[in-house]
Amino acid sequence: MKNFTTDELNRLNPYLAYKLLSGSVIPRPIAWVTTQSPDGIVNAAPFSFFNVVSSQPPLVSISMLGQKDSVNNLLATKEAVIHFVSPDNVEAMNMTAASLPRQMSETDTFGIPTEPSRTVSVPSIIDAPIRFEAKLFKHIPIESNGYVVSNLMLLEITNFAFSGAVFDAEKFYVKPDAFQPIARLAGNTYAELGDLFELERPQ
């Protein structure tokens, strides 16, 4: 068993801890997030440090490394839309990981069509099978050596939107085989949904 203490990693390179985390905690869902600056520029960016926090109220968490446009926009407007990634939109999602100047919109630059959302002013990406419109519930800055290195955003869902292809309205559940979610691994590696199996929970 190979062990690494955080002190050892920090003496080498803090980025090594990121590599161990992102390579071990897999697969991770991808939050493809649109935000909007106060002057109306729409930003789109993917984040894979993303998960569910609570169902009542409906909360999700997204950890945003660094002081990205998404962070600044969320803190300014308190609104976002989270889109889920499928084989149909994974290429477009990957393009929005590029570093663009603040005044450039990823949706405009890469020709990603959007439409108005129902409960927030931030536009939604049309080609996403699942969307969560959300408002900022809590911002937790994560500091190291006196610097903010990450921003933990707790977002409260204000509207759940599902395409008819992935949602069974009669049974009220999301169909994973139709959804075909794309997951993040490490580096440039992604994964599709593999074989499904069921286990009965013990009484």
pLDDT, one tens digit per residue, over 148-189 is 889 999 999 999 999 999 999 899 999 999 999 999 999 899
Query: Predicted confidence band at 97 (pLDDT cuts at 50, 70, 90)?
Result: very high
Distance CA 84, CA 106 (A): 17
When pLDDT is averaged across residues 92-100 and rounded to a whole number, the result is 94
Q: Is the pLDDT of residue 12 over 80?
A: no
35-44, 139-148, 172-181: least confident range: 139-148
CATH architecture for residues 6-186:
Roll (2.30)
Closest to 53 in 3D by CA, of 149, 160, 157: 157
pLDDT, one tens digit per residue, over 51-84 is 999 999 999 999 998 767 999 999 999 999 999 9
Contacts of 124 (CB under 8 A, 6+ apart): 34, 81, 83, 114, 115, 116, 117, 131, 133, 161
